[in-house]
Chains A and B, each alone.
Chain A
Amino acid sequence: GNSVTQMEGPVTLSEEAFLTINCTYTATGYPSLFWYVQYPGEGLQLLLKATKADDKGSNKGFEATYRKETTSFHLEKGSVQVSDSAVYFCALSDSNYQLIWGAGTKLIIKP
């Protein structure tokens, strides 16, 4: 079946460091891929998405590229800020109205 695997957290970085959060997936067909973010005490919100191979999603300085050959959708940001501290979820959509979620990666940015 479809699945998403994320790197375990927490990931702790200093402000202005480069961020990579790894996400790999297993899926049949051609899923769409998503990154959602959950700030402390809040619900989830879409950060970015990509709907076909080689697409790059971007938002708020974050980027992720849909790599079909490596079945990956790694999240990157060139210079993180304290306000980026949150839990990040990778997910894929299948054709049955469902999102398949990774376990989430907690990111802690220290000033």
Chain B
Amino acid sequence: SQTIHQWPATLVQPVGSPLSLECTVEGTSNPNLYWYRQAAGRGLQLLFYSVGIGQISSEVPQNLSASRPQDRQFILSSKKLLLSDSGFYLCAWSTGTEMRTDTQYFGPGTRLTVL
């Protein structure tokens, strides 16, 4: 069966520090991968998605970046965190075999607090 891992689970970082969040998927090949942010009391905002190694699409201009160095690894990074980067970051995957009906499967999330 497929599983998705995210780490760390929680993170407290000072403003201006770098960030690296990691997401890995097991039990599937060539998944579509997604990074979302969920601000407190709000819905999900799609940040990045990837349909293959090295292929990243950005949905929102920001100081965050994403990379996909391996088929089942998706990394969210920042060189300098802002206070507004605080939130709950969710990684998700889908099979991509049928775009219109695909279910996205979510990881447990990372709670990021920028102070």
Contact = CB atoms under 8 A, between A and B. Distances in A.
Interface of A: 30-32, 34, 36, 42-46, 49, 51, 89, 93-99, 101-104
B42 A104 contact: yes
A42 B43 contact: no
A93 B109 contact: no
B38 to A, nearest CB: 8
Interface of B: 32, 42-44, 46, 49, 51, 59, 90, 92, 94, 96, 99-109
Contact of B32 (A46, A89, A97): A97
A31 B101 CA distance: 8
Contact of B100 (A45, A51, A89): A51
Main secondary structure of the interface of B (DSSP, over half): loop
Contacts, number: 57
Contacts of A51: 100-101
Contact of B99 (A42, A44, A95): A95
A43 B103 contact: no
B60 to A, nearest CB: 12
Contact of A101 (B32, B43, B101, B108): B43
Given A36-B106, A104-B43, 7 more contacts: A43-B106, A43-B107, A44-B92, A45-B106, A46-B105, A94-B100, A101-B43
Contacts of A34: 103
Nearest to B96: A97
18 contacts: A30-B100, A31-B100, A32-B100, A32-B102, A42-B108, A44-B44, A44-B90, A44-B106, A46-B104, A51-B100, A89-B44, A93-B102, A95-B99, A97-B51, A97-B102, A99-B104, A103-B42, A104-B42
